[in-house]
Amino acid sequence: AQTVTQSQPEMSVQEAETVTLSCTYDTSENNYYLFWYKQPPSRQMILVIRQEAYKQQNATENRFSVNFQKAAKSFSLKISDSQLGDTAMYFCAFLQPDAGGTSYGKLTFGQGTILTVHP
Amino acid sequence: DGGITQSPKYLFRKEGQNVTLSCEQNLNHDAMYWYRQDPGQGLRLIYYSQIVNDFQKGDIAEGYSVSREKKESFPLTVTSAQKNPTAFYLCASSPLWGISYNEQFFGPGTRLTVL
């Protein structure tokens, strides 16, 4: 079974600074997908960024970027120019496609990291 | 606007009662999922469904049941057999093709409290 580990229960950062959230995972598969989700105080889960394992290039979405190290099974999230609205719990998630190769599959979540951005 | 709706937002249940949480989506997604979130923890999968009239157990299905009679709807029933049902429940859906394939979109959640 796949496992996802987020070793930082809480992090804090000053507004406009950069912060990196860590995530490691365990799998014997070669084809999979990785995600970072954000859950603000409203508790609405929002997708931040996604990475396909077959792509060597790290994904970026505006101020958010990842450092995907496939051999090390590491998938960290970097938030640049942190904003007060980034305050949330962040979840790393792993998806293993089903045997038929479709996208249908089970998401496995890490325990989450609470990020607080201070003014 | 396309999206996922869950109702009610807050639900209170007496011990021994079954309750049903609603989840509706108008995104034309084939797959739908139910997750449970406990304080300070990640999400755990309860049930998931790829097509109408078919669904599979997730990691913590005991004490729960689902149905998928329509593509748009995936209600979750929390039965009296669920020993610790107080939690936050999230419904999600995902397309099986297209630019957003394998991305799961989440509803706003239902907070269930057992009195």
pLDDT in tens, A47-105: 999 999 988 899 999 999 999 999 999 999 999 999 999 999 999 999 887 665 555 56
10 Å Cβ neighbour count for B92? 24
Window 4-43 of A: residues touching B by CB (8 A cutoff) are 4, 9, 33, 35, 42-43
Q: How far is B108 from chain A (nearest CA, A)?
A: 5
How far, CA to CA in Å, does B2 sit from each of A45, A47, B16, B27, B106? Answer: 16, 16, 36, 6, 12
Q: Is A85 on the interface with B (CB under 8 A)?
A: no
- In this predicted model, what pLDDT tens digit does every residue of B38-74 receive, in sequence order? 987 889 999 999 889 999 999 999 999 999 999 999 9
Q: How far is A111 from chain B (nearest CA, A)?
A: 4
